[in-house]
Amino acid sequence: MKNPVSIKVMKRPMLDALKSCHDALLTKLDAANLQGTERDFGNALDDELKRRFPTLSGQTDLHSVGGSQPFSGREKGKLDAYDPISKTGWEYKVVRFPRLKKTPKYDLGQLISDHLRLQRATKLQAGFVVVLMYGPLVEDASSDLAVYRHFHDQMVLERLRCLQRPSAYFKPDKLHDRAACAMGFDNVADIKPAWVEVARFGRLAALAFDSRSSDIKSVPRGVIE
């Protein structure tokens, strides 16, 4: 069995993807038009990843990699990208920093759900959640560490809000919160963990985290009640 793909391989593809779609994405984002932005970034990243993983394919059925949804009542699901040779999966997300929406459908809940799908898929050897980051905090960040701190701090804040206003997407003392704490989102962070990689270009950034890192404690299998 080959060694799992390292998080280190993500920096160059993320950087090149940002370069290739930067202006087109900003045209949409500056107009507050988020429709298709995740797909556009995902397509650009897929193109770059295929240079290293030529057998990479697009959306792949979650069950085919031994995965399942962490929500009850939701059986179907797909990974955004999958490479059958290295047995690596990817999930993509777009998040604004700072967050403006006031709905209970927090970004944290969706990111944790993506993370759990990758962490618990029995046929994967590696899995990465990749977040396209935009907004004033990203534009002001002067280093990879600053980007990560903005990401981490927003997740900590969203967890606190979720604890005060539980929703179907994030409930206290349930699977999502246990996963959030395992990733360190119950406290502040001064350093970028080894299981995180960051790329920056222009007014955008991309952050990837290794959902199958041994440094992230696994949570028991189960579903959100």
Under 8 Å between Cβ of 219 and 116:
yes
pLDDT tens for each residue of 202-224: 999 999 999 999 898 776 665 44
Q: What is the pLDDT of residue 168?
A: 62
**Within-domain flag for 195:** yes
**Within-domain flag for 1:** no
- Using only C-alpha atoms, what is the Rg of the chain? 16
The torsion defined by the Cα of 30, 159, 149 and 209, in degrees rounded to 10, comes to -90
Question: Which H or E run includes 82?
Answer: strand 81-83
**Within-domain flag for 218:** no
How many domains are there within the chain? Answer: 1
**Within-domain flag for 58:** yes
**Within-domain flag for 220:** no
Q: Give helix 144-164 / helix 107-120 axis angle, nearest 10°.
A: 100
**Within-domain flag for 221:** no
Residue 84: φ, ψ to 5°: -75, -20
**Within-domain flag for 224:** no
Residue 98 belongs to domain spanning: 7-210
pLDDT tens for each residue of 137-158: 999 999 999 999 999 999 999 8
**Within-domain flag for 192:** yes
